[in-house]
Structure 1
């Protein structure tokens, strides 16, 4: 309950239970299934699609391209991206990458009838150079502190041909309270109860993205606040971006 009285001025440094790789098993897989419900309720796919569409337009709307989603969990946010590809006649392939076998198994099960999706167990720091057109990370960046995050994003940039899309949570008391209540209504899973609200407290504000751009020496980094307290961050490899300063701090 300590977070009930915390300040959201700084990112929480506590480790999420999902980041302890010495645990896992069936309870973690259950957590991933419950997380899919939370993602649907809070519109987690929308900021990722916003960023992907931006890079797609800047690349002159290719009819065929690939996405690598790192830290993908069960990859459920990509279902909406596949629907968008269908609607626009795009030949899209998606690779879901996660470091835990539990997440990979959940992703394989979820997309077992989807030939456009493949799953691989891999670390974000071990990505092959230029292995996908767009590299995405949905609700993954907040697992890293400010010192680690530039290295994570650099690895994603090297792996991409067109650019990087990061979608993550706006650190604010409103989404924290909404997640705290919702997790207790839909789940008794220890990962969900602990990590759901904590992920909001570990989320971002506009100044965090400005500092990331400075750390990367990347003035082209673009960020935008999106509905339901999310951020979409886009780092393209074309020189078409200008720094966007959000109205929501």
Structure 2
């Protein structure tokens, strides 16, 4: 039974997060993330607003993507930077061995560094990045994990970088829109994957802008994007 969208359903669990989920369906889900994120995540807007203005010709800049999954977003960032004549190195991290293994099997992308690690481990090693970002990670976290991610992000971008964590904004229209938009493809393009079921669960687990704003420490802010997007921001000029 689906709870009301007025409150966050933090008890709901995405099927692909289960340790014993179907490996074939999981691989199919990773394969489809690029198409789905191109529609629902609006990563191109994040690149244009927060990443490209910080890139300069002749310098290789470092971006960290946390919880990269199949690494479709890092590959897209590298593709857009190359098209703009800019040099970028994207470190894509995920502690899940299944995500790391799938991403590692894909064709090599120049500038992409895949690592099976966590933001905490990188922060402890004093790694530094020009941009720290994530996509659809925040709604997976409990309160302690959320606070830890923000603290790690500040350390990783403390040399003058910027942090942009993008996620879904929970809303009735977002839920209905995703449900209606994916229904025609549920037996064709999305068949054999967790995309539709887990996408709806993700919306139920996600926050509103007001909820996120109440959770943020000093120096952080939340910005609304489209479609039904939230950007949690920290750093210079955000």
The TM-score normalised by the length of structure 1 is 0.80
Q: How far apart are residue 204 of structure 1 and its match? A: 2.2
Q: How far apart are residue 199 of structure 1 and its match? A: 0.6
Q: 1:93 to 1:155 in 2, by over 3 A?
A: same
* SS, match of residue 15 in structure 1: coil
Contact conserved, 1:48 with 1:166, CA < 8 A, in 2?
no
- When structure 1 is superposed on structure 2, of 71-80 and 162-171 the one drifting more is 71-80
Unaligned runs of 5+ in 1: 242-249
**CA distance in structure 2 between the aligned counterparts of 1:21 and 1:48, rounded to whole angstroms:** 31
Contact conserved, 2:220 with 2:233, CA < 8 A, in 1?
yes
Any runs of at least 4 consecutive aligned residues in structure 1 with deviations exceeding 6 A, and if so which? none
1:104 corresponds to 2:100: yes
Q: 1:47 to 1:19 in 2, by over 3 A?
A: farther
Q: 1:55 to 1:10 in 2, by over 3 A?
A: farther
Name the counterpart of 2:232: 233
Name the counterpart of 2:214: 211
Contact conserved, 1:165 with 1:232, CA < 8 A, in 2?
yes
Q: How far apart are residue 138 of structure 1 and its match? A: 0.7
Contact conserved, 1:17 with 1:191, CA < 8 A, in 2?
yes
Q: 1:154 to 1:47 in 2, by over 3 A?
A: farther
Contact conserved, 1:170 with 1:231, CA < 8 A, in 2?
yes
The TM-score normalised by the length of structure 2 is 0.83
* SS, match of residue 38 in structure 1: helix
* SS, match of residue 129 in structure 1: coil
1:10 to 7, 11, 32: 7
Name the counterpart of 1:247: none
Q: CA RMSD in A?
A: 2.6
Contact conserved, 1:51 with 1:165, CA < 8 A, in 2?
no
1:159 to 156, 167, 170: 156
Name the counterpart of 1:27: 25
Name the counterpart of 1:176: 175
Q: How far apart are residue 209 of structure 1 and its match? A: 2.5
**CA distance in structure 1 between the aligned counterparts of 2:39 and 2:162, rounded to whole angstroms:** 28
- The aligned length equals 229
**CA distance in structure 2 between the aligned counterparts of 1:212 and 1:51, rounded to whole angstroms:** 24
**CA distance in structure 1 between the aligned counterparts of 2:57 and 2:223, rounded to whole angstroms:** 21
Contact conserved, 2:74 with 2:92, CA < 8 A, in 1?
no
